[in-house]
Amino acid sequence: MNFKISNKDSYSNARCGIITTDHGDIPTPIFMPVGTSGTVKSVAQKDLESDIDAKIILANTYHMYLRPGTDILESVGGIHKFMSWKRPILTDSGGYQVYSLSDNRKISENGVKFRSHIDGSLHLFKPESAIDIQRSIGADIIMAFDECTPYPCDFNYAKKSMELTHRWLKRCVDRFNNTDSNYDYNQVLFPIVQGSTYSDLRKKSAEVISNFDLPGNAIGGLSVGEPNELMYKHTEEVCEILPKNKPRYLMGVGTPANILECISLGVDMFDCVMPTRNARNGMLFTSKGIINIKNKKWQRDFSPIDIHGNSDVDLTYSKAYLRHLIMSKEMLGAQIATLHNLSFYIWLVGKAREEIKKGSFLEWKNKMVKKVSEKV
């Protein structure tokens, strides 16, 4: 993997560039649609590529390990062939999913014992096994195994958790360096900054993972319920420490406004379930604000979903028709809304790249943050 910065904004820390992988180039800043189980819910791969133009998608180690299992993925030649996707893929290590199983897992120095949410079977995730599983899955970018702390979190627990994440990182790096890719392309490993909402811990974690000198770095443990102001504060202080010549990935973030603000702080990569999950509940993100398509005001609105939209569905279907589908719980409704939202997110980061190159990012960002946060 290679990362080249092409432009920097003069009035913020925003920058744009290109990440080069064996499955293609990724322009940054970039948003990665979440395909947890090897699928972006309700969207076919051909639409992801031709309509939305997603440059990279995300899958999850925990879910792919439980189902279909690594033996299936290895048999077919990895996740790209399994899901018929030729572009880059990133896999989360499963740490966040294990964290979410708080009633069904036990953390120790060795790793995490947990029970499957599918059948209750007992499993052990260790740093080494997280790397081995991600070798079998075969994503282009894989993540180190970490512990994600809840919010709010006691300082002493956050400190112990961060230190455990750092020890696990050493084991992940050793395993990664002592194994080869299972397939005929390269993989890279990203570490994850933790430290909850404590500045001294965040800064310490950023320093520790920077010293591992890996190809890129991630910021985890944010967007778990803390106020936006804290998210921005810790993102900024971490970005000031992380190497400037490597991509920075803010995990699980967020709203369109969150993404724009964090681009200005120097973040390059984002993922979030919000555009897909909220779409299934009738929430549409647009350049003019947020639409709740379930509202009765749209019942007789036969205008296009979004005249400024970039997806094929935006001019093909009306707001009234989409409302009818969502209210009737028709699968097509979820599909149309998801295509719209993902297309908007991809447009948003693409427009950010354009504005950075033109030198007008900050002024544009400040206007857009207000617009995309309004309710239409």
**Token pair of 77, please?**
């030649």
* DSSP secondary structure letter of residue 299: T
Active site residue 140: no
* DSSP secondary structure letter of residue 181: -
Residue 337 pLDDT more than 80? yes
What b-and-e string marks burial along 148-167, b requiring 16 or more CB atoms within 10 Å of the CB? bbbbebeeeebbebbbbbbe
Q: Which amino acid, residue 40?
A: V
* Global pTM value: 0.97
pLDDT for res 146 = 95
Mean of pLDDT values over 196-217: 98
Fold of 2-272: TIM Barrel (3.20.20)
Question: Each residue of 262-285: pLDDT tens digit?
Answer: 999 999 999 999 999 999 999 999
Q: Which of 87-91, 96-100, 239-243, 303-307 has the lowest mean pLDDT?
A: 96-100
Mean of pLDDT values over 146-171: 96
How far is the C-alpha of 92 from the C-alpha of 35, rounded, in Å? 11
Contact 363, 332 (CB under 8 A): no
Give the active site residue among 47, 51, 140, 271.
271
Report, in this order, helix, strand and coil percent for the chain, each rounded to 5: 45, 20, 35
Residue 230 pLDDT more than 80? yes
Give the active site residue among 9, 92, 140, 306.
92
Mean of pLDDT values over 250-261: 97
Mean of pLDDT values over 126-151: 96
The model's confidence at residue 54, banded by pLDDT at 50, 70 and 90, is very high
Q: Who's near 360: CB < 8 A, 6+ residues apart?
A: none
Question: Each residue of 15-49: pLDDT tens digit?
Answer: 999 999 999 999 999 999 999 999 999 999 999 99
Residue 150 pLDDT more than 90? no
Residue 109 pLDDT more than 90? yes
Q: Which of 115-119, 243-247, 254-258, 306-310 has the lowest mean pLDDT?
A: 115-119
Residue 100 pLDDT more than 80? no
Question: What is the CA angle 368-316-338, rounded to 5?
Answer: 55
Residue 331 pLDDT more than 80? yes
* DSSP secondary structure letter of residue 145: -
What is the percent of the chain with per-residue pLDDT over 70, rounded to a whole number? 99
pLDDT for res 348 = 98
Residue 347 pLDDT more than 80? yes
Mean of pLDDT values over 328-345: 98
Domain positions in the chain are 2-272, 273-376
pLDDT for res 132 = 98
Contact 115, 101 (CB under 8 A): yes
Question: Each residue of 276-328: pLDDT tens digit?
Answer: 999 999 999 999 999 999 999 999 999 999 999 999 999 999 999 999 999 99
pLDDT for res 152 = 93
Mean of pLDDT values over 353-366: 98
pLDDT for res 97 = 74
How far is the C-alpha of 342 from the C-alpha of 285, rounded, in Å? 9
Active site residue 25: no
Residue 12 pLDDT more than 80? yes
Residue 99 pLDDT more than 80? no
